[in-house]
């Protein structure tokens, strides 16, 4: 009984942590787990991150080809953060 309870608690904890991935500290497997990232995007992220951590979402989008505002919003909604921050579209952006 206790074993089943412990396993249930561990499963709940793991499920709640799956969605959160920090771009500057995530390893290859964690980045690959983000919906919207494939092996080539993960490789580009790791290559750019080797030059230095990403300062913010704008820095990430400027340095990693293919990540624009709509994709950044989806990635953020999937749990990706940059320096602990979710993506927020600029106030003058036409994208909601």
User: For the chain, how long is the longest CA-to-CA vector?
Assistant: 56
pTM, rounded to two decimals: 0.74
Name the band, by pLDDT with cuts 50, 70 and 90, for residue 91.
Answer: confident
Cα–Cα distance between 89 and 96 in angstroms, integer?
7
List of domains in the chain = 19-81 (1.10.150)
Give the residue-averaged pLDDT of 54-62: 97
Give the residue-averaged pLDDT of 48-72: 96
Determine which helix (DSSP H) or strand (DSSP E) holds 22, and give its type and residue range.
strand 21-22
Q: What's the token pair of residue 2?
A: 């206790």
Determine which helix (DSSP H) or strand (DSSP E) holds 81, and give its type and residue range.
strand 80-81
Determine which helix (DSSP H) or strand (DSSP E) holds 31, and give its type and residue range.
helix 28-32
């Amino acid at each position: 009984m206790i074993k089943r309870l412990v396993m249930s608690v561990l499963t709940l904890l793991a499920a709640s942590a799956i969605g959160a991935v920090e771009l500057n500290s995530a390893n290859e497997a964690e980045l690959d787990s983000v919906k919207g990232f494939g092996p080539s995007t993960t490789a580009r992220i790791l290559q750019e991150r080797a030059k230095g951590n990403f300062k913010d979402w704008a820095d990430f989008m400027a340095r990693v080809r293919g990540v624009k505002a709509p994709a950044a919003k989806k990635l953020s909604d999937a749990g990706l953060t940059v320096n602990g921050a979710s993506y927020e579209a600029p106030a003058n952006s036409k994208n909601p």
